[in-house]
Amino acid sequence: MKLLIVKLSSLGDLFHALPAVSNVKAKTGAEIHWVVNAPYAELVRCFDPVDRVIPFQRNRALAAMPALVRTLRNERYDMALDMQGLLKSAWIARLARAKKTIGPSFHREGSRLFYNAIAGPRNKQRHAVEENMDFVDWLGLERMPPAFPITLPGSPIDAASPRIAMLPLSRWPSKNWPAAAFASVARRLKTLKNASFFLLGDTDGQEACAVIERALDGQASNLAGKTSLMETAALLKSMDLLIANDSGPVHLAAALGVPALVVFGSTDPERTGPYGPGHRVLRTKLDCQPCFSRTCRGQGLACLRGITPEHVGEATLKMLTGR
C-alpha cells in the first residue's frame, strides 16, 4: 500500500498529525509520502514513519504546481489522506489521483467536494491529536497509544541543569504573556535554582528576549532570530523545561518528551495544549475564553493579566522538583 499524507502546516499541526500517521504505518506497513510546506520539509524528514517528503512551494504555488502534479502522478497512491482540511490541501490531495481521497472531520472552505469520504464525525470538543486519529478508525485499524516517533540530529548541550528554554512571543498578540513577566520568572529561577536559560524566537521575538536577557544581567543564551527550525529542535531536545506562550515549538517540545509550561490566553488548551503527560497549562477562567481572536476584543487582555509571575514561578518549581 502507498499512502499520500497532505498536511502542509503549521508547526503544531504537523505534530498533531504524526501519531495518526505513525499508527497507520505500524499497522499497515504502507509506504508513506507526505506533502508539506517547504520550510517544514527538513523537519518532516525526521519523522520516522515517513518514507518520502514532497515539499510544496507555497510562496510560488502557481509556478511550482506543474512540477508538483508530475511528482504526485508519477506515483500510484492507493489513498490520499488530507489531514489539513482546507481547499488548497484538498485540491493537492485530489490532484494525486489516488484511488480514494479521504478528508478530516474538521474540513472547511468547501474542501468536502474533493473527498470520497470523511474520516469520522465532526467533534471539536477534543484535542487535535484525537481528531486526526479518526483516520486510524476509518481505515479499520487498531488504535495504538499516540506516539511521536522522530529522530533529530544534533548533540546534547553542555550547560548546567536545570536547562530552561523560554519562548516569550507567538504570532498572536492575544497569546503573548508580557516579556516583563517572563523576566520576573527568570530572575526568580536564577536565584533559587541557578538555572541555565536559552531564549528562543524568530526575529520578531528579539525585543522580548532582550528584556529577559537584561533581567538576567546577560546570563542567558539569547538565540532569538539566530537559529533555524532544525537548530531550535536540536536545542529543545536538551532542555529540562520549556516555558512559553501557546505556539508551535510547544508541540515540538512535547513530541521530544520535554516538559512544557504554557500560558494560555485566547486559545483552548483542551484542543491545542501540549499533548501527553508531564506538561502544565496555566490560564484564567473568563466568560470570553476562548475567543480565538488574534487581538483582544476590549477586555484589555484580562485573560493574560490574570496570570502572575508568582503563578508561573510556583508551577515551574513544582515541575522541576517532580511535584
Predicted local confidence at residue 323, as pLDDT:
58
Check: CB of residue 280 under 8 Å from CB of residue 315: yes
- Local confidence pLDDT in tens for the 323 residues of the chain: 999 999 999 999 999 999 999 999 999 999 999 999 999 999 999 999 999 999 999 888 888 899 999 999 999 999 999 999 999 999 999 999 999 999 999 999 999 999 999 999 999 999 999 999 999 999 999 999 999 999 998 878 889 899 999 999 999 999 999 999 999 999 999 999 999 999 999 999 999 999 999 999 999 999 999 999 999 999 999 999 999 999 999 999 999 999 999 999 999 999 999 999 999 999 999 989 999 999 998 778 999 999 999 999 999 999 998 85
Structural domain boundaries in the chain:
2-138, 163-320
CATH superfamily label, 2-138: Glycogen Phosphorylase B; (3.40.50.2000)
> Closest Cα to residue 49, out of 5, 13, 95?
5
Predicted local confidence at residue 135, as pLDDT:
98
- Cell numbers that stand for 18 in this block: 504524526
Number of C-beta neighbours around residue 292 at 10 A: 11
Rounded-to-integer distance, Cα 131 and Cα 105, Å: 7
Rounded-to-integer distance, Cα 18 and Cα 30, Å: 15
CATH superfamily label, 163-320: Glycogen Phosphorylase B; (3.40.50.2000)
Q: Which residues have C-beta within 8 Å of that of residue 61, sequence separation ≥ 6?
A: 88
Whether 2-138 shares its CATH topology with 163-320 is answered yes
Predicted local confidence at residue 4, as pLDDT:
98
- With 0-12 / 13-18 / 19 or more C-beta atoms within 10 angstroms meaning exposed / middle / buried, residue 4 is buried
Tell me which residue has cell 483542551: 270
Tell me which residue has cell 499516540: 146
Number of C-beta neighbours around residue 310 at 10 A: 12
Note if the bond before 290 is cis, omega within 30 degrees.
yes
What DSSP string runs through 136-158?
HHHTTPPPPPP---B----PPP-
Rounded-to-integer distance, Cα 108 and Cα 85, Å: 6
Rounded-to-integer distance, Cα 56 and Cα 68, Å: 7
Rounded-to-integer distance, Cα 16 and Cα 132, Å: 7
Dihedral class, residue 149 (left if φ above 0, else alpha if ψ from -120 to 50, else beta): beta
Dihedral class, residue 192 (left if φ above 0, else alpha if ψ from -120 to 50, else beta): alpha
Which residues, in sequence order, are bridge partners of residue 54? Answer: 35
- With 0-12 / 13-18 / 19 or more C-beta atoms within 10 angstroms meaning exposed / middle / buried, residue 265 is buried
Rounded-to-integer distance, Cα 202 and Cα 225, Å: 4
Predicted local confidence at residue 314, as pLDDT:
96
